[in-house]
Amino acid sequence: MADLTVIDDKAAWEARVDRLWAARPTRWRDAWHELTRNKLALGGSVIVAFFTLVAIVGPALAPYDYAKQVLSDTLLPPLTQGHLLGTDALGRDLLSRLLLGIRISMAVGLGTTAIALVVGTVAGMLAGYYRGWVDRIVGGFVELVWGFPLILIAVLLIGAIGPGLVGVVVAVGFVNWAGFARIVRGEVFALREKEFVASARALGKGDLDIMIRHLLPNVVGSALVMGSYYIAIAIIAEAGLSFIGMGAQPPLPSLGQMINEGSGYMLLNHWLSTIPGIVIVLLVLGLNVLGDGMRDVLDPRLKGTG
């Protein structure tokens, strides 16, 4: 799983938050303009938009039923007998499965990240704002989750609710919220010292009000950037769990499940695992590039630095 990388240095954090704050008045106004100008972001957006479109309409356009087995037409190579990408070991049309697989993988990525983003942002904001024991408790959970083996969480959840995608979403979401909490806490921790927070407080505004109106808009950018990375992380994590049999259950395909199913036929028809593999790489690449681009847009001074 990729991680927070560029932003794990606390000192760098502080500097960054200062810059963010300095850039504040123009940031959102110019964001769209910047986004369209930034080649990286544009490229990433195009890839992600393409896959999003495929995820939404793709399965409806699929030439065959994704679960339809034709046991007499198995392992056809790409471009044969009306199967653009060939068929899998059970004679199912690979293209139709791929289209649904993209939808499932993206849904898992979005679902886990949505959970992680909401939980992580709330926890991080509380920790950074109230500090003290709240911070210590949240920090404790973050460290606990950070070190908790995903496999253990997966086995537990899957044992409790049965193997399948719901378990995967909850398990991965359970781990990934910590990343958001860390980031948001760091930003809020520093932002709280800024004049605008002090003046808001002097005006008698409540904590909740300050957090929602003043702090949230300032951290949401970073959280969204992180979100783009974390969708990618979740897609890879789902693929990894599917690879060891804990993800999507038959006959549902996810990209990871397809690689898993295809890997046994690596020597006979490698397309079964290479095609979904390439799709995952492209999708994750698009999300990472988009994340980089968004970061540049929201924080122009960092442009091209990482």
Partner 1 sequence: MASYLARRTGYMLLILLISSVVIFYALRSAPGGPSGGGVLSPLSSQEVRQAYEKRLGLDQPVYTQYFIYLGHLARGDLGTSLVNGSPIVELLATHARNSLVLGLTALLISYVIAIPLGVLAAVKRNTWIDQLAMGGAILGMGIPNFWLALILVYFFSLRLGWLPSAGCCDPPQLIMPALVLAAEGTAVTMRMTRSSMLEHLRDDFVRALRAKGLPEWEVIIRHVLRNALIPVISLTGLRLGWLVGYALIVETIFRWPGVGYLLVDSVLRRDYPVAQFFSLLLIFFVLIANWLADIGYGLANPRIRVA
Partner 2 sequence: MIERSSQTAVHELVSQYLDGGLSRRQFVKGAVAIGLSMTTVGALLAACSSSSPGTSATPKRGGTLKEGYDLDFSRLDPINTNWYDPAFYAVYESLVTNDPSGNYVPQIAESWNVSSDGLKATFKIRSGLKFQSGAPLDAAAIKAVYDGIADPKNGSPLGSIWVPVASTEAPDATTLVINLKHPYFDLFNIVKTGYWDIVNMAFRAQLGDKYGQQGVDGSGPFTLTEWVPGSHTSVKRWESYPGTVTPFIQNKAKPYLDGINWLTILDAPQRAIQIQNGEIDTLRGPAFQDISRLQSDSNLTVTKLKEWSGYFFSLNFKRSDLGFNDVNVRQALSHAIDRASIVKALLFEHGEPLYGPITSADKSYTKDVEQFNQFDVTKAKSMLGDAGWKAGSDGILTKNGKRFAFEMIIQAESFNQQLGSVIQAQLKTVGVDLKVSSLDRGTFFNKAFANPDSVMFFYLWPVPIDVVTLFVNSVNANGKGPNWGNAVVPQVDAAIAAWQSAANQDQLIAAGKQFQLACAEQLPFVPVINRDAFWVSRKRVHGWQPDQWNLYPYYNDVWLD
Please give the Cα distance from 193 to 55 (Å, whole number).
43
CB atoms within 10 A of CB 278: 12
Residue with tokens 């008045």: 25
Among the candidate windows 21-29, 73-81, 145-153, 198-206, which touches partner 1 by CB under 8 A? 145-153
In terms of Cβ atoms closer than 10 Å to its own Cβ (0-12, 13-18, 19+), residue 203 is exposed
For position 289 contacting partner 1 by CB under 8 A, the verdict is: yes
Under a CB-based contact definition with an 8 Å cutoff, are residues 271 and 94 in contact? Answer: yes
**Amino acid letter, 76:** L
Among 208, 267, 304, 305, binds partner 2 (CB under 8 A): 267
For position 71 contacting partner 2 by CB under 8 A, the verdict is: yes
Among 98, 123, 210, 232, binds partner 1 (CB under 8 A): 232
**Beta bridge partner(s), residue 83:** 80
For position 225 contacting partner 1 by CB under 8 A, the verdict is: no
Please give the Cα distance from 60 to 284 (Å, whole number).
23
Please give the Cα distance from 260 to 34 (Å, whole number).
40
**In the structure encoding, which two tokens stand for residue 36, read together?**
């369209």
Under a CB-based contact definition with an 8 Å cutoff, are residues 285 and 47 in contact? Answer: yes
CB of 145 to partner 2, least distance (A): 23
For position 45 contacting partner 2 by CB under 8 A, the verdict is: no
**Dihedral sign for Cα atoms in the order 284, 289, 294, 296:** positive
Among 33, 264, 278, 306, binds partner 2 (CB under 8 A): 264
Task: Indicate the residue among 52 and 87 with the shorter CB distance to partner 2.
Answer: 87
Task: Indicate the residue among 87 and 218 with the shorter CB distance to partner 2.
Answer: 87
For position 12 contacting partner 1 by CB under 8 A, the verdict is: yes
Cα-only R_g, the chain = 22
For position 300 contacting partner 2 by CB under 8 A, the verdict is: no
Q: Which residues are CB-neighbours of 11 under 8 A, at least 6 positions away?
A: none
**In the structure encoding, which two tokens stand for residue 100, read together?**
């649904």
Among the candidate windows 96-104, 171-179, 241-249, 281-289, which touches partner 2 by CB under 8 A? 241-249
Task: Indicate the residue among 60 and 160 with the shorter CB distance to partner 1.
Answer: 160
At 93 the three-state DSSP class reads strand
Task: Indicate the residue among 1 and 107 with the shorter CB distance to partner 1.
Answer: 1
CA distance to 129, 172, 177, 199, per residue, from 124 (Å): 8, 18, 9, 22
With CB under 8 A, what is the number of residues at the site for partner 2? Answer: 28
Among 63, 159, 217, 306, binds partner 2 (CB under 8 A): 159
Among 48, 76, 226, 239, binds partner 1 (CB under 8 A): 239
CB of 72 to partner 2, least distance (A): 7
With CB under 8 A, what is the number of residues at the site for partner 1? Answer: 55
For position 66 contacting partner 1 by CB under 8 A, the verdict is: no
Under a CB-based contact definition with an 8 Å cutoff, are residues 279 and 47 in contact? Answer: no
Among the candidate windows 14-22, 43-51, 259-267, 278-286, which touches partner 2 by CB under 8 A? 259-267
Site of interaction with partner 1 (CB under 8 A): 1-3, 5-6, 8-12, 135-136, 139-140, 143-144, 146-152, 155-156, 159-160, 189, 232, 236, 239-240, 243-244, 256, 259, 263, 266-267, 270, 273-274, 277, 280-282, 284-285, 288-289, 292, 302, 304-306
